[in-house]
Amino acid sequence: MVEIDTPNQNCFLVQPRDFQLPEPLPLQCGRALKNANIRFETAGTLNAEGNNAILITHALSGDAHCCGRHTPSDRKPGWWDDMIGPGKWIDTNRYFVICSNVLGGCSGTTGPGSIDPDTGRPYNLNFPVITVHDMVQAQKRLVDHLGVKHLLAVVGGSMGGMQVLEWAVTFPDFVDKVVPIATACCFTPQNIAFDWVAREAIKADPDWKGGDYLPDKPPAKGLGAARMLAHITYLSNESMDRKFGRNLQDKSDPENYGYAFDFDFAVESYLQYQGRSFVERFDANSYFYITRATDYFDLTAETRGDLVAALKDVKSSFLLVSFSSDWLFPTPQSVKIVDALLRNRKEVSFCEIKSSCGHDAFLLEVETLGRMVRDFLATPRRKRA
């Protein structure tokens, strides 16, 4: 995503809003979440029929602010602003776009940093373990509250793609089209392993204090290390080589190593920056809960590993997109879903976009991806026999 670093007086504005669920939300872990709040933003106008809505689902570290700016002086727009807006690939002159911060998040939606109504104190690790299914259940209550009668589409990448798939399976009669991007039907052991190491890094920080850290003294080193590890998985070797190579941070003397353990290489400095900036906007306990939700995600859990059986009742048309250099969610994982849909005689399109940007390509290859999404949204469904 191209980040705009100067104020834009011609931007379109959006405002964060809150919806408190009127009833407790039952969770897959067996508990229920009382007084749950959902932070969300919308762009565009819902039509009289209530069927031009598109739900955008965000990735692990994202939030509800997917497009536009909150004020004209904001230096940066929403995280998918290149994709969504008036006249853009997902055109808010035509569609009513909704994006909410996920359950367990730290950007306004109820999560471990929220106040437990039973104790008057932050939940911290007393917050119930949540799943992608729980996230989608909360989103369904939100779209109902907004007057949506039928979702035209659900679109999202990475963990957002998992939510897209969950929508298609859990609410097959409510969603017309789905676009899972750079995702999979379940986490691989490697994916789970990365999450485990990241959480262990946070736990090793003495400021974590078993999740009961002070808001002004978070486990910054541990969370920063977790983010650095995760960020590596979002890139590709080719993109890192092109951007950094073996360049030293001190360009004034490019052949002189420091012979110490501070960063010498430009890539080390870059990761240090990514970790430090992440700590400023994200909560360590939310990182625990959201990564665990992705670990647990498995569309085939109830069908004993049979993906064909898991997808037999879906009714949405599908557009699946993968990226050639994405090694976190490689193309064969999307092809597996496509094959299961075809065996069920479902309506499905698929494309692997050639890109050297790694997993982050779904945020960066906006023109190619956007053209595909625009055309898919505008194409009428085929009539079933």
- pLDDT reported for residue 257: 86
- pLDDT reported for residue 2: 33
Q: Which residue in the list 326, 334, 356, 360 is annotated as catalytic? A: 326
Q: Which residue in the list 61, 107, 158, 334 is annotated as catalytic? A: 158
Which pLDDT tens digits describe the chain residue by residue (385 residues)?
Answer: 333 334 454 679 999 999 999 999 999 999 999 999 999 999 999 999 999 999 999 999 999 999 999 999 999 999 999 999 999 999 999 999 999 999 999 999 999 999 999 999 999 999 999 999 999 999 999 999 999 999 999 999 999 999 999 999 999 999 999 999 999 999 999 999 999 999 999 999 999 999 999 989 999 999 999 999 999 999 999 999 999 999 998 766 666 888 888 888 999 999 999 999 999 999 999 999 999 999 999 999 999 899 999 999 999 999 999 999 999 999 999 999 999 999 999 999 999 999 999 999 999 999 999 999 999 999 987 654 3
Is residue 359 part of the annotated active site? The answer reads yes
Average pLDDT across the chain, whole number? 94
- pLDDT reported for residue 1: 31
Q: Which residue in the list 58, 65, 133, 359 is annotated as catalytic? A: 359
**HEC-encoded secondary structure of the chain:** CCCCCCCCCCCCECCCEEEECCCCEECCCCCEECCCEEEEEEECCCCCCCCCEEEEECCCCCCCCCCCECCCCCCCCCCCCCCEECCCCEECCCCEEEEECCCCCCCCCCCCCCECCCCCCECHHHCCCCCHHHHHHHHHHHHHHCCCCCEEEEEEECHHHHHHHHHHHHCCCCEEEEEEECCCCECCHHHHHHHHHHHHHHHHCCCCHHHCCECCECCHHHHHHHHHHHHHHHCCHHHHHHHCCCCECCCCCCCCCCCCCCCCEHHHHHHHHHHHHHHCCCCHHHHHHHHHHHHHCECCHHHCCCHHHHCCCCCCEEEEEEECCCCCCCHHHHHHHHHHHHHCCCCEEEEEECCCCHHHHHHHCHHHHHHHHHHHHHCCCCCCC
- pLDDT reported for residue 259: 86
Is residue 212 part of the annotated active site? The answer reads no
Domains of the chain: 17-187+298-378 (3.40.50.1820), 192-291 (1.10.1740.110)
Q: What is the pLDDT of residues 283-294, one digit of tens each?
A: 999 999 999 999
Q: What is the pLDDT of residues 308-327, one digit of tens each?
A: 999 999 999 999 999 999 99
- pLDDT reported for residue 230: 97
- pLDDT reported for residue 385: 37
Whole-angstrom Cα distance, residue 57 to residue 105? 13
Find, among 175, 145, 125, 187, the residue nearest to 329 by Cα. Answer: 187
Is residue 158 part of the annotated active site? The answer reads yes
- pLDDT reported for residue 221: 97
- pLDDT reported for residue 11: 79
Q: What is the pLDDT of residues 262-305, one digit of tens each?
A: 888 999 999 999 999 999 999 999 999 999 999 999 999 999 89
